[in-house]
Amino acid sequence: MSIGSDFKARCLRWSQPVGPFTTEQEDLEAKELYARRLSADGLRDCMAEAAKWAGDKDFEDLAVSAFDFAWILKLVGRGREMGQTIIDMLTPSGPPLLVSMWGEARQQNQTAALLGKLDVNNASADLQVALAGALLSVEGTLARDTLRVMKGQARSPEAQQEIDLALSFLDPLVS
């Protein structure tokens, strides 16, 4: 079984409620162990697999599990590596799920590289929502200034709401 297939199977399992024979703590420990043991190539394969699920309604539960896994990678000290892996995989249109996962890495020093890969001016509404959340996570002047530009280009009410929300938090923090 490939790393990507294994990751998909794990995300399917992780998307289910914790069963009667496993506690939430044991479930979290198993995810942490998996995150720690992944090779750099394995991490890239997991992110590539998650990119396939982006925007597919049949894979929403998997996408949530992948996003949760991004948080665990940060927790075990692999946030910077994950962030760079995602940036390397991005196209000008995202996908939005990977942009959201990048936000979980909270690597402010990678913001310029992220923005250099994305076509922010022509972003879809989904990408705008994901990017607003990711920029809120990393904070900083570049994040705030990008959100200000996006504010006038929102593609949907949801995107506008996310951009406004992010700015409401960032404007007082960044002087």
pLDDT at position 74: 81
Give the separation between CA 8 and CA 136, rounded to whole angstroms: 28
| Mean pLDDT calculated for residue range 132-159 | 93
Around Cβ 82, how many Cβ atoms within 10 Å? 25
Is the per-residue pLDDT at 30 higher than 90?
no
pLDDT at position 174: 64
Is the per-residue pLDDT at 175 higher than 60?
no
What are the structural domain ranges in the chain? 1-90
Among 2-11, 49-58, 116-125, the minimum mean pLDDT is found in 49-58
Virtual torsion, Cα 28, 138, 173, 150, nearest 10 deg: -130
What band does 54 get if pLDDT is binned at 50, 70 and 90?
low
Is the per-residue pLDDT at 147 higher than 60?
yes
Is the per-residue pLDDT at 127 higher than 90?
yes
Give the separation between CA 102 and CA 174, rounded to whole angstroms: 21
Closest residue by Cα to residue 81 from 52, 33, 41: 41
Is the per-residue pLDDT at 133 higher than 70?
yes
User: In terms of pTM, does the model score above 0.75?
Assistant: yes
Mean pLDDT for the chain overall: 87
